Structure 1
Amino acid sequence: MTTTKLKIIALVTMFIDHFGYFIPGTPEWMGWIGRIAAPVFIYCVVIGFKNTSSKTKYLVRLGVAAVGMSFLNLLINYRILYLVEHRDLYTGFRPYIEFNFFSTLFCIAILIYLLENRKTIWLVGLFIWQFLSALFVIVLEENSLLNNPWQIFYTQTSGNFILVEGGILFITLGILFYFANENKWKVLFGYSFYCLAMFYSVRRWGWSLAGINQELFGFANYQWMMIFALPFLLLYNGKKGIGLKYLFYIFYPLHIVLLWYISTYVYYLD
């Protein structure tokens, strides 16, 4: 199975997951299927970054996509804020949009880049920034210095491993895939152990707790179903396929806007 086929599988399962999120009355199993998407995307980005002819261009592309998606979310969230304040939407209205997996993938790629090139000083600086940027968010929240749309924009552009979508656990998964180095046995045992640890941590420290635990382990209680991505990862044959490298960059924001529009204007503002 080529990386192109892996990406298409990830796109399809992601769309099913997000369709279930946005559209009222959809069955829970759509979310189960969606657990396949994130690990496959992370796996493909790790492979793509390691094999690209220009790591700098790869990082710039991911970074631009992350910032662009943050601005798109900002526009949508201001529209949501307007609708809530002026259309008196009932409490069942969907919350602010926080989807920006580009930010997560960028954080994984930049960390791999620094590890590969042994940029020790930059790594130290990056981890200092993790502390400072998280502290800044705490200050913002406690003093209500930003409204929700701008606070979400900051968290998505901060480069903080805890604040990006999926948080530190998805960043860790990216590093696990990097050190597995496409070795199927390492992927098999490493990813299986990761999913087991995810199952335990979410059940132990997940939805019931607030604060930092919510940031670290606030996944759905069926997040362990990401184990079903493993067969696809093991079927990877080391080949690129036909490419389609810009498909994800276009499809991701497009389908978020489309599903949000359908959800808002068909189901809530009919």
Structure 2
Amino acid sequence: MNSLTLRTIALITMIIDHTGAVFFPGVDTFRIIGRIAFPIYCFLLVEGFRHSGDVKGYIRRLAAFAIISELPFDLAFFGKLEMTHQNIFFTLTLGLTAIYLMDTKGKELPYIGLVSVVVAMVLASLLNTDYGYIGILYILIFYHTRLMTGPMRHLIAFIVFTLSNFLFTGGLQLYSSLAFIFIIAYNGKPGPRSKVIRYFYYAAYPLHLMVIFLVSRYVI
């Protein structure tokens, strides 16, 4: 299973999750399926970090789509511009920035790595980004297991990931460990690549949220 296939699974399960959150808030099945999406995105973020030749450009793209996506996110979930909760691109941007600083500045100045993680977690909590500090923790788990090989990589990530959920979240979020069913099938290959494909998957986030808002406001 290549990264494009994983990304597609994450996109589909995310859309199912958001559809359930807006249209079927009392049906847990949608939300359980949706728990699969974010861990896959965190895993792919670290894979992208490993193989990107321009991590700073990667961070800028995530930040740009965080801004672009905020209005559709707010409209879909709150029906208006609402600054008390920020979309998932903010979490991913903070997480990627933290591991970038750990991997570069942190090698010479170890405290920089710790500070970058703490700052990312604090900002995620203060900004109330999707998944908050636990989202940063997920990214760190995949970052610290990225260089392991064979089954051990996924086994350790799974154990720490699941334990983190029991300690810091609970409820439906415990189902997010189901994402490892797909993550362990990853073959390390990117699959078809092009700028069109890349930006389609970025744009799909704000676009599907806008569709959800329009349907909820004008159709149902």
Moved more, 178-187 or 95-104: 95-104
**Is the aligned partner of 1:198 residue 2:151?**
no
Amino acid at match of 1:38: F
Contact 1:73/1:97, CA 8 A, preserved across alignment: no
**Inter-partner Cα distance in structure 1 for 2:54 and 2:176:** 31
What SS does the aligned partner of 2:198 have? Answer: coil
Show the counterpart of 2:146: 181
Show the counterpart of 1:108: 95
Q: Which of 178, 186, 200 is 1:247 aligned to? A: 200
Give deviations 1:115-138, integer Å, cap 9, x for gaps.
Answer: 11024476576468569xx6xxxx
Consecutive unaligned residues of structure 1, counting only runs of 5 or more, are 83-94, 135-159, 204-220
**Is the aligned partner of 1:49 residue 2:36?**
no
Give the deviation of 1:63 after TM superposition: 1.3
**Inter-partner Cα distance in structure 2 for 1:21 and 1:99:** 16
TM-score, normalising length: structure 1 = 0.68
Contact 2:141/2:157, CA 8 A, preserved across alignment: yes
Show the counterpart of 1:226: 176
Amino acid at match of 1:80: G
TM-score, normalising length: structure 2 = 0.83
Contact 1:104/1:170, CA 8 A, preserved across alignment: yes
What SS does the aligned partner of 1:50 have? Answer: helix
Show the counterpart of 2:13: 13
Give deviations 1:62-88, integer Å, cap 9, x for gaps.
Answer: 1111122235546x38x9359xxxxxx
**Is the aligned partner of 1:172 residue 2:137?**
yes
**RMSD of the alignment, in Å?**
2.8
Task: Look at both structures and tell me which one has the larger radius of gyration over its CA atoms.
Answer: 1
Which protein has the bigger helix share? 2
What SS does the aligned partner of 1:245 have? Answer: helix
Matched length = 209
Residue pairs, 1:1-270, within 5 angstroms:
1-24=1-24, 27-73=27-73, 76=75, 80-81=79-80, 98=85, 100-119=87-106, 120=109, 123=113, 126=116, 160-162=123-125, 163-181=128-146, 183=149, 184-203=151-170, 221-243=171-193, 244-267=197-220
What SS does the aligned partner of 1:222 have? Answer: helix
Amino acid at match of 1:193: V
Give deviations 1:40-59, integer Å, cap 9, x for gaps.
Answer: 01101110111011112111
Give deviations 1:133-173, integer Å, cap 9, x for gaps.
Answer: x6xxxxxxxxxxxxxxxxxxxxxxxxx13232111111011
What SS does the aligned partner of 1:168 have? Answer: helix
Moved more, 44-53 or 184-193: 184-193
Give deviations 1:207-249, integer Å, cap 9, x for gaps.
Answer: xxxxxxxxxxxxxx11111111112111111101013221221
Give deviations 1:173-219, integer Å, cap 9, x for gaps.
Answer: 1011011115331322322332233134334xxxxxxxxxxxxxxxx
Amino acid at match of 1:255: H
Change (3 A) 1:222 1:52: same
Amino acid at match of 1:178: Y
**Inter-partner Cα distance in structure 1 for 2:143 and 2:3:** 15
Change (3 A) 1:127 1:4: closer
Change (3 A) 1:71 1:259: closer
Identity of aligned residues (%): 26
Contact 1:187/1:234, CA 8 A, preserved across alignment: yes
Contact 1:2/1:240, CA 8 A, preserved across alignment: yes
Contact 2:43/2:139, CA 8 A, preserved across alignment: yes
